[in-house]
């Protein structure tokens, strides 16, 4: 499940709790996450964990972030570059 990076983690957690999620529980997917900043989703269509982080933690460097978080960021960047490449080449193909 996703990590939420925000400047206001307390606000995000309270909004998630008001939305019906259960927060402050032991993580079920990524065991090394802080339980006080973990919220769980148990719905019919989707279930899993949400992990809330302060954005300043992102800037501390790779020793502070887990390998999974860095892989998620890198995968996201690669996916965006791939989508842009396809879009640019599709437009060129259509104009040719």
pLDDT digits (tens, 9 = 90+) for 2-49: 888 899 999 999 999 998 889 999 988 888 888 999 999 888 888 888
In the prediction, which pLDDT does 76 show?
A: 92
Of 39, 30, 28, 10, residue with least CA distance to 70 = 30
pLDDT digits (tens, 9 = 90+) for 42-54: 888 888 889 999 8
Which pTM was predicted? 0.57
Domain spans of the chain, in order of start? 1-61, 66-96
């Amino acid at each position: 499940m996703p990590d939420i990076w925000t400047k206001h983690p307390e606000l995000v957690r309270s909004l998630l709790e008001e939305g019906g999620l259960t927060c402050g529980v032991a993580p079920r997917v990524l065991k090394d996450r802080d339980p006080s900043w973990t919220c769980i989703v148990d719905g019919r269509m989707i279930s899993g964990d949400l992990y809330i982080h302060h954005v300043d933690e992102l800037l501390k460097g790779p020793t502070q972030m887990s390998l999974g978080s860095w892989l998620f960021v890198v995968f996201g960047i690669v996916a965006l570059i791939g989508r842009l490449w396809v879009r640019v080449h599709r437009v060129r193909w259509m104009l040719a």
